[in-house]
Amino acid sequence: MIKKGRRELAFFCVGCATICTLYLVCNQCYFLLDLETIPLAPKIKPMKKYILASVAIATFMACGGLSTNSEETKSVAKEQTAHEGEILLEKNCYVCHSPTAKTGRIAPPMQYVKEHYIKEGTTQQEFTEAFISFVKHPTKDKAKMPGAIANFGLMPQQAFPEETLNKIADYIYNYEIEGPGDFKEHKKKHGKGKHQKGQEKAEMTKAERGLDYALSTKAVLGKNLMGKLKSEGTVGALEFCNVKAIPLTDSMAKVHHALIIRVTDQPRNPDNKVSDADLVHLNLFKQRAAAGTEPETIVEEMDGKTNLYFPIMTNSMCMQCHGKPGVDIENSTLAAIQGKYPEDKATGYSVNQVRGMWKVVFDD
């Protein structure tokens, strides 16, 4: 829809172009009929006619561009801009609540969560309050999915900024979200939201590409680690990290044709110690976390390569191996850590602190 001012300008331009065109046509007719003897017959030199024709055409095209291009550009941009909540959902939730995991699932898909939380008549405010309350302080009493707790255990406490949780809740409530291929269509329409189809994304930016590499690697490590925790306990998970973490990370790096590593200033494995050059990025992530802001990627481009950095945040489950000795870490676990990592520095953390960061390097 063209705004009033633009519509009037368009009509004016079209009118000018029309008058110029008619003027040219009339003059051409006079020349063809050899009516130059008529006193009132306008005389236009050939070069002037061509100039006037060019002006008429240019005016028409320019006015047409003014009336449509801006609106079309806005429309295309809107279609290619994903809902911010969708990006945050993928970044923060899909490591556990993956919509595509075939085996080794460690939490229910978010589409199942939506089905249980949003019933007919559930308002957006009701859903948002229940969703945020459970994420901040998960308990069996608050849970709306007892079957999921029986299968996967209680979700670890997550410390996300309030703004992040609100944006994720807004997206879940108002949009259709990706689910497993075997998920049946909803039998009921949940809530009063429009539940529109998610926006189609444009081609990945370098930041999105690098983050995708990091998160997919994190998902593989997380799935295997959670499996070990569930089947063999904390010591079994520690054994997995000692033997499999780096090889699994390297295998994902080969899949993505990139360098993918985890680094920290308090390493458990000395091979994960952050370099002096990268320490500045790690410290910046710590400052942002302390301020309670949503962590954002850092992207650097140099020598034909892109370097991406993304923080690794602790949650309540991490405390079993990275918390405070004698408080969060059991004595048997601490003995196992000291046996495998005599120079370990990766303890003493609290929930929602920066444990380290992902570094991803790939060719432009």
Amino acid at 92: N
Where among 118, 150, 174 does a domain terminate?
174
Whole-number pLDDT of residue 202: 55
Q: Are residues 236 and 101 in the same domain?
A: no
Per-residue confidence at 23, pLDDT binned at 50, 70, 90? very low
Sign of torsion, CA 286 291 295 297? negative
Q: Is the pLDDT of residue 35 over 50?
A: no
Q: Are residues 227 and 317 in the same domain?
A: yes
Per-residue confidence at 26, pLDDT binned at 50, 70, 90? very low
Q: Are residues 210 and 325 in the same domain?
A: yes
Whole-number pLDDT of residue 155: 82
What mean pLDDT comes out for the span 313-337? 92
Q: Are residues 241 and 311 in the same domain?
A: yes
Convert 170-180 to b/e letters by CB count within 10 Å (16 or more is b).
bbbbbbebbbe
Q: Are residues 331 and 213 in the same domain?
A: yes
Q: Provide the whole-model pTM.
A: 0.59
Is residue 239 domain-resident?
A: yes
What mean pLDDT comes out for the span 130-152? 86
Q: Is the pLDDT of residue 3 over 50?
A: no
Whole-number pLDDT of residue 66: 40
Is residue 130 domain-resident?
A: yes
Q: Are residues 210 and 332 in the same domain?
A: yes
Whole-number pLDDT of residue 299: 96
Is residue 195 domain-resident?
A: no
Per-residue confidence at 273, pLDDT binned at 50, 70, 90? very high
Mean pLDDT of the chain: 76
Whole-number pLDDT of residue 15: 53
Is residue 193 domain-resident?
A: no
Q: Are residues 359 and 210 in the same domain?
A: yes
Is residue 199 domain-resident?
A: no
Is residue 185 domain-resident?
A: no
Sorted by sequence, the CB contacts under 8 Å of residue 351 that are 6+ apart come out as 157, 159, 314, 315, 316, 318, 319
* Domain at 88, CATH number: 1.10.760
Q: Which tokens sit at 298?
A: 């850092």
DSSP letter at 154 equals P
Q: Which tokens sit at 117?
A: 């939380």
Is residue 182 domain-resident?
A: no
Q: Is the pLDDT of residue 81 over 80?
A: no
How many other CB atoms sit within 10 Å of the CB of residue 23?
16
Q: Are residues 329 and 247 in the same domain?
A: yes
Q: Are residues 93 and 59 in the same domain?
A: no
Q: Are residues 322 and 217 in the same domain?
A: yes
Rounded distance between C-alpha atoms, residue 348 and residue 340, angstroms: 18
Where among 120, 155, 174 does a domain terminate?
174
Whole-number pLDDT of residue 249: 94
How many other CB atoms sit within 10 Å of the CB of residue 285?
20
Q: Is 292 helix (H, G, I), strand (E, B) or coil?
A: coil
What mean pLDDT comes out for the span 164-182? 83
Where among 64, 80, 96 does a domain terminate?
80
Task: Please write the tens of the pLDDT for every residue from 188-238.
Answer: 433 334 445 444 445 788 998 999 899 889 888 888 888 888 888 899 999
Per-residue confidence at 61, pLDDT binned at 50, 70, 90? very low
CB 189 within 8 A of CB 114: no
Q: Are residues 126 and 158 in the same domain?
A: yes
Number of domains in the chain: 3
Is residue 113 domain-resident?
A: yes
Q: Are residues 109 and 170 in the same domain?
A: yes
3-state secondary structure 52-119: HHHHHHHHHHHHHHHHHHHHHHHHHHHHHCCCHHHHHHHHHCCCCCCCCCCCCCCCCCHHHHHHHHCC
Partners of 300 in the β-ladder: 307
Give the whole-number percent of the chain exceeding pLDDT 90.
35
The vertex-104 CA angle with 103 and 110, nearest 5°, equals 85
How many other CB atoms sit within 10 Å of the CB of residue 339?
11
Task: Please write the tens of the pLDDT for every residue from 99-112.
Answer: 876 666 778 888 88
Rounded distance between C-alpha atoms, residue 180 and residue 95, angstroms: 15
From the list 16, 180, 22, the residue with the least C-alpha distance to 111 is 180
Residue ranges making up the domain that contains 259: 206-363
Torsion, Cα 263 256 87 165, to 10 degrees, reads -40
